[in-house]
């Protein structure tokens, strides 16, 4: 499982989205030079407290409560969460990925189902319109 942890510690961009590896800590995200400033500003505002900086991004986002202001910000940013599942198919273990909305992700996070956090996906247009 440690090999998987190292694979999801990157920040990648395309024309419409920014993909942040969910296995990196908030402090690691802040240390990367190629992370857009607005992404850093969002994480610094909502997860910049001393105790949260060393936590993985997926842990910070999994603790969100639907009544919190952070939840409203996540919805406004139109964040998507890419998670992986191991399943059995024809006697073989198969790894599948799904992209979830914030509501689906929080429901999965509070369930007993086994999954693995891969990425947090930012919509660039929503990020542009967002003000912290």
Domain that holds residue 114: 2-129
pLDDT digits over 17-75, tens only? 999 999 999 999 999 888 999 999 998 888 877 778 888 998 888 888 889 899 999 99
Q: For the chain, how many structural domains are there in total?
A: 1
CATH code at position 25: 3.30.465.10
Structure tokens given for 10: 């990157």
| Backbone phi and psi for residue 121, each to the nearest 5 degrees, phi listed first | -110, 120
Check residue 21 and give its pLDDT.
Answer: 92
How sure is the predictor about 88, in pLDDT bands with cuts at 50, 70 and 90? confident
Q: What is the pTM of this model?
A: 0.85
Helices (H), 10-123: 26-31, 37-47, 57-62, 69-76, 102-109
Polymer length of the chain: 132
Mean pLDDT, the chain, whole residue set: 87
């Amino acid at each position: 499982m440690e090999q998987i942890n190292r694979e999801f510690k990157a920040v990648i961009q395309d024309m419409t989205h920014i993909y942040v590896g969910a296995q990196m800590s908030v402090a690691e995200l802040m240390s990367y030079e190629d992370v857009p400033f607005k992404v850093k500003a969002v994480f610094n505002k909502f997860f910049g407290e001393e105790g949260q900086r060393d936590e993985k991004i997926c842990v910070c986002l999994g603790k969100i409560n639907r009544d919190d202001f952070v939840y409203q910000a996540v919805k406004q940013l139109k964040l998507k969460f890419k998670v992986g599942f191991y399943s059995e198919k024809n006697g073989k273990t198969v790894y599948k990925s799904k992209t979830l909305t914030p509501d689906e992700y929080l429901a999965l996070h509070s369930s007993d189902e086994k999954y693995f956090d891969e990425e947090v996906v930012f919509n660039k247009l929503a990020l542009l319109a967002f003000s912290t």
